[in-house]
Each structure stands twice: as structure tokens, then as C-alpha cells.
Amino acid sequence: MKVSTRSILTASVLLLISCTGKSQKNEKENSGSVETQKPNSNYKPAFEGQTRINAVKTSAPYQVEVLNTDLGRPWGIINLPDGRFLITDKTGYMNVVSSDGKKVSKISGFPKVDSKGQGGMLDVALDPDFKNNNIIYFSFSEPFGEGNLTSVAKGKLSADLKNIADVKVIFRAEPSYDGDKHYGSRLAFDKDGYLFVSTGERSDRITRAYAQKTDNYLGKILKITKDGKPAPGNPFIGKAGYKPEIYAYGVRNPQGMAIDLNGSLWDVEMGPRGGDEINLIQPGKNYGWGDVTYGIEYSGDKVGQGITQKEGTEQPVYYWDPVISPSGVTFYTGNMEEWKGNLFIGCLSGEHINRIVMKDNKVVGEERLLEDRRERFRDVLDGMGGNLYAVTDSGKLYKISKK
């Protein structure tokens, strides 16, 4: 996709907008939650700090730049080893974008996607040995059977990054379903080179029950090898009635997934009306969706029995009501000292980037960044050079850096 001169000029006018927060002696001085709206339900949290935690405010000055305003329909963003970006386009391909956002080139050769609704070309991850093999992994909604499903494929990029070859689908999250929502679909490699894959339960009442069933791949966190086989050590290998690729289950629509600095896996997932969650994902655990939630149906009715706790299910580390519609997430390792180790979340309906401060795996503070931009932030990236990057549904690429 070509970048128009007008788009670059427009973006340049908006560059280097200062976002300095007033210095505070202590973040705790800014008390009260960032959420001021009335919740959808009267459910009570299971423990203190599970929702509406005290607000914090960044004390160090930072700046926001819009590097590009014409990226189409971006969904996922990662860095290439040389600092350029690889950005998926929901329509069904990927772009290589220069580190300054000005040069964009399209990669051809991807399989057909079903881009209706929430589907399309979704997330992307580099092979841990990418520098030597040029292999990438990507997830997409694949037309399959009588509907579509979340699939994971891999392929080799050409040296000039203009084409992908030897594309092979290594995993399909069956059963297929004739719908257009809740594909989940984030990818994350662990330190041992195994691939975590998140899948949604496809949204409809008829498929919701699959999240609690273990003979399928809907509403799951999966762990597979580079060839799509069950990762060694998975919790249900050899257990009757369980798919061996399942790492955890009972999730709704996990559009965000990331590994923290200690190697722990986290997801963020969308609830119905209320009940968006942050979860610490552990092997073999059931995260409750379908049976327990802090949200309600869009109609206003209770979900199931209207319970928020059940024996054998895990509680979310944190939840939101009303929802923020969390999408891509990242743990920050850059050069803003007070942000290090924080979880950053791209929010869709919330139209901001959410900063979550944690201590000992508990949420201790929350901040909303870039609310004034009124953007649906689809993905965020802990990028090279110590900077934070984000892509939006409006086709923009943001850079947030220390001032």
C-alpha cells in the first residue's frame, strides 16, 4: 500500500505533541479509579483490588508522534530485527513499514482469509531463529468446512520481504463455524521455542459451551510446537476427553496475550456487558467463561446462573465493568523507568491505551493514556529503541517515547 504525500504531511503536523504529566511525589497521591461510569451489574469483586483500582499518573514527560495515518486495517504489529515493523492488515496481507513510518511495502502470497466481521489476517510472530531462516508464523480466519475458523500458518519471507513462500497451515482451531466473531488469535513464543495461541469461543450462544468443553479448540489457550503438534509437557497429554494441545481453557475472546519479564503468560479477554479480564494463565486451569463472569448479557440478563465464583475455576486478576474492549497487550521494557514491567493494553471501545501497574501479580494502579485521541487502539508493541508503539483501527501508527 502506498503512503500518500497528504497523509505524511498531515501526520507531520501532528508530530511531537507533548504529553507531560505533572510530577507527583508518589503515584498513590492520585487516588480514586480511572473509571467513573456506573457498572452494568451489582456483582462484588472476590478480593480487594480486583477492579477499579486507584488511578496512577505518569510523572515523567513523554511525547507522542503519529508516524503514519494510512495503514489500512492494521491488526498486529511486531518489530523486525533491523527495526522495521511487520504489520498485519485485516484484509488479508502484511506490510513492511520503515522505522520512521514513511515507507510501506506490501508482502504478497498469503492464503485466502475470511475478513467478514472480526475476521481476517490477524496476528504475527517471528520464528525464534528468524535471523537465520526468515520464517514467520501468523494467525488468520480461514474459510474451512461450512464456515471458518482460527488457523495458524507459517511461511518463509523472501530476502527482499516482498513475498512469502512455502506457506503451510500448521494448526486449525476446530470445529469450524459459520460466524464472524471472537477468533481470539494472539501468538506468543516462550523461551523454549513453543508457541502459545489464543482462540475465542466464536461469540454465539450455541458455541459458548465449547469454552468449557475440552474435546475442541474454541475458547482455549493452546501450546504447540513449530509444526503444530502438542508441546511437550502440556497438562492434558494422554488424558481422555482432552485435546493435547490445550494449555488452559474457559476463555471468551482473548485478543491480547503476552509473556512477562519472569516468563509468566498473561491474557486479556473481552467480556460481554462488563467482565473484561486480565488473567494469569497457568497450565491446566479453567478460567470459567460460560459458567462464571463479572459481566451480563447484552440484553441485560444474567449469564448462565449469574455467578462470579465457582469451585474449579480461576478468578481474573483484574476485571472491568463497563468494558474497555481490550485487544493487543505488551509488557514494557523501554527507557521510561516508571513504566518498566507495566502491562500496556490497546483498548477498542475504551479508545485509549491502558497502563496497568502490577506488584506480585496483583494490579496496584491503572492509567488511561491518549484518551484525547479517540482512537480504537488495536495492538501495542514494546518496540526497539525503548519506545512504545500502537496501531489503530483508523490506520494510524503511533510512537510514544521518553521526552
Predicted local distance difference test score (pLDDT) of residue 2: 36
Provide the percentage of residues in the chain whose pLDDT is more than 90: 92
Residue 13 has pLDDT above 60, yes or no: no
Predicted local distance difference test score (pLDDT) of residue 12: 38
Selected residue with higher pLDDT from 13 and 69: 69
DSSP collapsed to 3 states, the chain: CCCCHHHHHHHHHHCCEEECCCCCCCHHHCCCCCCCCCCCCCCCCCCCCCCCCCECCCCCCEEEEEEECCCCCEEEEEECCCCCEEEEECCCEEEEECCCCCCEEEEECCCCCCCCCCCCEEEEEECCCHHHHCEEEEEEEEEECCEEEEEEEEEEECCCCCEEEEEEEEEECCCCECCCCCCCCCEEECCCCCEEEECCCCCCHHHHHHHHCCCCCCCEEEEECCCCCECCCCCCCCCCCCCCCEEEECCCCCCEEEECCCCCEEEEECCCECCEEEEEECCCCECCCCCECCCECCCCCCCCCCECCCCCCCCCCEEECCCCCEEEEEECCCCCHHHCCCEEEEECCCCCEEEEEEECCEEEEEEEECHHHCCCEEEEEECHHHCEEEEECCCCEEEEEEC
Predicted local distance difference test score (pLDDT) of residue 48: 97
What CATH number has the domain bearing residue 104?
2.120.10.30
Selected residue with higher pLDDT from 255 and 20: 255
Q: Considering 182, 186, 220, 252, which one is annotated as catalytic?
A: 182
182 is catalytic: yes
**pLDDT digits 0-9 by tens, 211-264:** 999 999 999 999 999 999 999 999 999 999 999 999 999 999 999 999 999 999
Residue 358 has pLDDT above 70, yes or no: yes
Residue 22 has pLDDT above 70, yes or no: no
Mean of per-residue pLDDT scores for the chain: 93
Provide the percentage of residues in the chain whose pLDDT is more than 70: 92
What's the number of domains the chain is made of?
A: 1
Residue 19 has pLDDT above 70, yes or no: no
Predicted local distance difference test score (pLDDT) of residue 29: 38
**pLDDT digits 0-9 by tens, 152-195:** 999 999 999 999 999 999 999 999 999 999 999 999 999 999 99
Residue 20 has pLDDT above 50, yes or no: no
Q: What is the mean pLDDT of residues 370-391?
A: 98
Domain that holds residue 87: 5-402
Predicted local distance difference test score (pLDDT) of residue 16: 38
Q: What is the mean pLDDT of residues 307-322?
A: 98
Predicted local distance difference test score (pLDDT) of residue 31: 56
Residue 124 has pLDDT above 50, yes or no: yes
Residue 117 has pLDDT above 60, yes or no: yes
Q: What is the mean pLDDT of residues 78-102?
A: 98
Q: What is the mean pLDDT of residues 197-208?
A: 97
